[in-house]
Amino acid sequence: MLRKPSILIVTPALAAARNGNWQTARRWAKLLDAQFNVRLAPAWDGSPADLLIALHARRSAASIAAWAATGRPLAVVLTGTDLYRDIADDAAAQRSLALADCLVVLQDMAPLALPPALRGKTVVCYQSTTARQPQAKAGRYLRLLAVGHLRGEKAPEVFFALARRFAGDHGLRFDHIGGALDPDLGAEAAALAAEQPDYRWLGSLPHEAVRRRIARAHLLVHPSIMEGGAHVIMEAACSGTAVLASHVDGNVGMLGAAYAGYFPPGDVDALAALVRRCRSDPAFLAGLLAQCEARAPLFSPERERATLVQLLHSLLEQP
């Protein structure tokens, strides 16, 4: 029997984080299991492997540099903070880009954030999720859901402000999922939940519970100011839930340039106008959902597996 190549996936965030990097690493390990021996670790400890996949150019920089010295194949997966913050001025992140044999990005706008000289070794690999049967939505009100740990990049204050904008309007419900990585934002979420019955802060939930709530929501609201390629957007698209998203490259790369549900980052007025239109114009809401569903084939596990397998074989076969 031929030996299966060994792959080490380094991700600074492991299971306890319940964030996008961990979800990516865990899913890739499952997708690749039939053809490769895959291990997950927070850093490379010198143990043998045929190929390293490192998530996060800056936070995995030490593992990337040490592995590159071995001469074995190296793929670096770029997160939103890599693309839209760190690679501009962080020397360790910039060195990771140079050392990588391949750069992996998670949506089709991401290569534009890279220096032109690096785009030739960049591969777009859309993340995937299982499709869910659309759930019946409540008829008496519109349920809006935001999913993301409470930290600056996710702009939870925009969702707070949106809920306050509609205080007393019982035709809307606001559910907010995410742990308080920023204690001040957690305190604000708790205070808002105490003062406004139609806003609920649900904290960090298991992934399956999050998916059920996404499927039951009328709208996923994703106001982030920085994204590498949000899991929750693809999960909404594959669950029969429309999206209202900030117009940043990471979201546009997931939903497409022509998507009708964007608002300028931080613009609560524009977001509130979209919410009002979704409530008053069923055809508009149905059109958003149709646009999301048209993107769903990009997020199939079969497509993601095929992209990864082709990439890994090409790296393992290089001289």
Each residue's pLDDT tens digit, 262-318: 999 999 999 999 999 999 999 999 999 999 999 999 999 999 999 999 999 999 998
- % of the chain at pLDDT higher than 90: 87
Give the Cα separation of 307 and 301 in Å (integer). Answer: 10
Cβ pair 104, 312 in contact under 8 A: no
Considering 3-17, 54-68, 136-150, the range whose residues carry the highest mean pLDDT is: 54-68
Reference 96, options 46, 126, 59; nearest CA is: 59
Average pLDDT, the chain: 94
User: What is the rounded average pLDDT of the residues 194-201?
Assistant: 96
Question: What pLDDT does residue 288 have?
Answer: 98
For the cut 50, the answer to whether the pLDDT of residue 130 exceeds it is yes
pLDDT digits (tens, 9 = 90+) for 141-193: 999 999 999 999 999 999 999 999 999 998 999 999 999 999 999 999 999 99
- Per-residue pLDDT band for 1 (boundaries 50, 70, 90) equals low
| Confidence category of residue 133, pLDDT binned at 50, 70, 90 | confident
Q: What is the pLDDT of residue 135?
A: 80
pLDDT digits (tens, 9 = 90+) for 6-38: 999 999 875 455 567 788 899 999 999 999 999
Domains and CATH numbers, the chain: 6-128+300-317 (3.40.50.2000), 142-298 (3.40.50.2000)
| Widest Cα–Cα separation across the chain | 67
| Vertex 147: Cα angle to 158 and 178 (nearest 5) | 95
pLDDT tier, 132 (very low <50, low <70, confident <90, very high otherwise): confident
**What was the pLDDT predicted at 18?**
57
CB burial string 4-13: b at 16+ within 10 A, e below: ebebbbbbbb
220-262 pLDDT per residue, tens = 999 999 888 889 999 999 999 999 999 999 999 999 999 999 9
Q: Is 124 in contact with 110 (CB distance < 8 Å)?
A: yes
pLDDT at 15: 47
* H or E element in which residue 130 lies: none
Q: What tens digit of pLDDT does each residue of 74-83 get?
A: 999 999 889 9
Mean pLDDT of 197-214: 95
